Amino acid sequence: MQELRIILIIIGLTLANVIYAQIDLTVCPGGFTNVHDPKWQMTPSWFEIVTELVDANGTIDVSQSFAPYYDVVTKNSKDGVMKSYWNFLTNETFDIVPATNREQTRPQCVRQIIQSTSETSIIQPNRLFLKPSVLLGFDVRNQVNKLWSIQYIGDEDLHGISANIFTSCFYVNDTRTTVSATYYVSDATKSQTYLPQNISLILQISVKSINEVGYKESYQYNVLRYTPNPNRNEEFETIETPPGVFCLNRTSQLILPSSISPVAIGNGERFSSQETFPVVSSRSAYHVQYDFSRFDVWHPNISNESQLLHTTELHDFRTGLKYQYNSATGQCSVLNMTYNDTDAMTVNGKPNFIQMGSVQHFFAMDDIPYQYTGEKRCRHHVSCNVWIGEKVLPNNSFQYREWYWVKGINNELLSYWAPWKMVIKNYANDVLSYMVESNVFNFHDPLSIVPEFSDTLANCYRSLGHRENFNVAIISFIVDNDHDYPLIKNVEYLRDTIFDTLAYRLGVRPFRISNVIINFNGKDILVTFTLLDATPFLGLVSTIIHDEPLTSRIEYLRYMIDSHTLQFDIRDGSKDYYVWARNNSLRAINTGFDPNPTECDGESCVQTTTPPPCLNITTEVNQNLEIVYKNSGPLITGFWISFVVLGVLIGAVGGFFVLKRFYKR
């Protein structure tokens, strides 16, 4: 053990002699400083300093934000503002230079790899201006410089402030420079106006240096503001590259969010001064498992800006169809989906067919590489992780997408990240040609998302009507509650249970069922809902679905009811209640005949027969099933709206008797 200590002492003395031999005695006649004075208050590992650098050529503003593995130096001179970033975890440095073109500024980023020969102690090439951090006791890679010491030499009054004077002589390896620095620090033992008690503030640093080839530099840092241990969130914002800056080949230290909920709803506001409607409100919902998405847009009416127009678009990737519904007019159009739809992707090996994209595709995060630019404050008390990506466009044009995802609120980390904002900028020949900002609000995973799709889809079916072979049925039946179970305690849960049971037992996609209404008549429950027909044709989908037609589902529902097999399991706390649909209680109002058979060859779907002419009002009775066919979509729509109004105004019992008289007819 004693031999090891002797070896370490010899190594230390040898290293000291080598460094001493490198010291230029013309700058440091007494050699390097080897005693650390206790009067000096150690510089923390996190700080911000704002200075003016004065030399024989003039003055420039220099500030540094410093952290153990990162720092940024900002220089403001007559040539403009330039930021230099050092990242010692990824061994990269970035210079951000504003490039002005046609009075529009697009920041340029120059990336370089930090190598063993890189000079990271200076603020600009070909000059010996050291970073403030190097003068304050940190090495060229932002770690504590164990060979740096400082000595107290006296006091002085500096611009009316009592100051302690310190001096330090040391050697900087990367530039092979001998440095002599004199520090003026406020006297912590004396009360000074506008200065905190018992805290020393750096006031001024005077520097003389010379490198091994004899190049000399004399300059002075006048410290305007020195903040030790700043707020960490603000510090993160400072040491990361600014918004909108893309650095080619940058090493991304954090990947984009990948565990995004496959079912979600979110509201949004879009801002763009270059579009007809600068502000557009929106709402989006998607369900990856069901291959369904919805987009709502509210924008001013061109002819009457005080009026908002509301348009909804539904994307059904199981059928390859999209529905465009106008809420004001109640009109709907149905179109084939294409790969140009934002949430659509082509099928691998089948470029003529489309499928629903991944969640990452939904957020435009899968077609270009993104790089992490750091943590920034989205709003007061809200911190975000930020990524930016570049997409090369034709004719020397580029698109930049910048994503903000909420990381924490009030310094509390969230259990999951949520999208906050996306900024898209297009540049043509370095000139900004287009910009849009989309803000996301209330992004969440809902308890039930099906009504977001099914209700509007039912409105579209009623608008298109049976003439387009989009048939709708309004169905009701009674659930017996002879044991007087307390089912009324939670109507929402009761409705959801009935909805889920119907979708499962009928074997239909849940979007075909909508507007489930529960009314109580004494002990019993009257259930009314809308059931949609299978789509009469399909779009460009590679996998053909086989939805059962409307009348066969009504027949099967009648069979389950009359055979006493349609059971509902209603849970109330820890208790389960089992109730059944009453025999012979099914009633249905259908707006069309059976859909005509279709044949699909994987390329297109065509209708093989002509639908029979619709009678004015025809009633077909099949045992206990009563189906009323009507030839007008608006008639059934009017009935449904009237029913809802009646249910609200008259109440459960009154609504039941109104329906009862209607069904008897």
For the segment 413-422, what is each residue's pLDDT rounded down to a tens digit? 888 889 999 9
Averaged over 551-561, what is the pLDDT? 95
For residues 548-563, average pLDDT: 95
* DSSP track, 560-623: HHHTT--EEEEEETTEEEEEEBPTT--EEEESS-PPPPEEE-SS-EEE-SPPPPPPSEEEEEET
Question: How many CB atoms are closer than 10 A to CB 341?
Answer: 18
* DSSP reduced 3-state for 323: strand
The pLDDT value recorded for residue 413 is 87
pLDDT range class, residue 103, cuts 50, 70, 90: low
Residue 635: count of CB within 10 angstroms of its CB: 14
- Per the listing, tokens 């500096």 go with 158
Burial of 138 (0-12, 13-18, 19+ CB in 10 A): buried
In this predicted model, what pLDDT tens digit does every residue of 116-166 receive, in sequence order?
999 999 999 999 999 999 999 999 999 999 999 999 999 999 888 889 999
Beta bridge partners of 531: 473, 513
Q: Which tokens in the block code for residue 474?
A: 């309004």
- Mean pLDDT, rounded, of the chain: 82
Q: Tokens 């349609």 appear where?
A: 566
Largest CA distance in the chain: 114
Q: Is the pLDDT of residue 625 over 80?
A: no
In DSSP terms, which residues pair with 326 in a beta bridge?
A: 311, 331
d(CA 593, CA 549): 10
Q: Convert the pLDDT of each residue in 194-216 to its tens digit.
A: 656 677 889 999 999 999 999 99
pLDDT tens profile 575-619: 888 999 999 999 998 755 444 433 333 333 333 333 333 323 233
The residue to which tokens 């600009």 are assigned: 124
- 239 against 241, higher pLDDT: 241
What long-range pairs does 81-90 form, CB within 8 A, spacing at least 24?
Answer: 83/241, 83/242, 84/123, 84/124, 85/239, 85/241, 86/114, 86/120, 86/142, 87/251, 88/114, 88/120, 88/141, 88/142, 89/253, 90/251, 90/253
Q: Are 646 and 638 in contact (CB under 8 A)?
A: no
Q: Which of 43, 75, 46 is nearest to 61 (CA)?
A: 75
Q: Could you give the CA distance from residue 226 to residue 265 in angstroms, rounded to a whole number? A: 46
| pLDDT of amino acid 11 | 43
pTM over 0.75: yes
Neighbours of 301 (CB within 10 A): 12
Strand-pair category, 70-77 with 80-87: antiparallel
Q: Binning pLDDT at 50, 70 and 90, where does residue 237 land?
A: low
Q: Which band of pLDDT confidence, cut at 50, 70 and 90, is reported for residue 381?
A: confident
* Structure-model confidence comparison of residues 657 and 266, the more confident one: 266
DSSP string, 149-179: --EEEEEEEETTEEEEEEEEEEEETTTTEEE
Q: Tokens for 315, please give them.
A: 């994307």
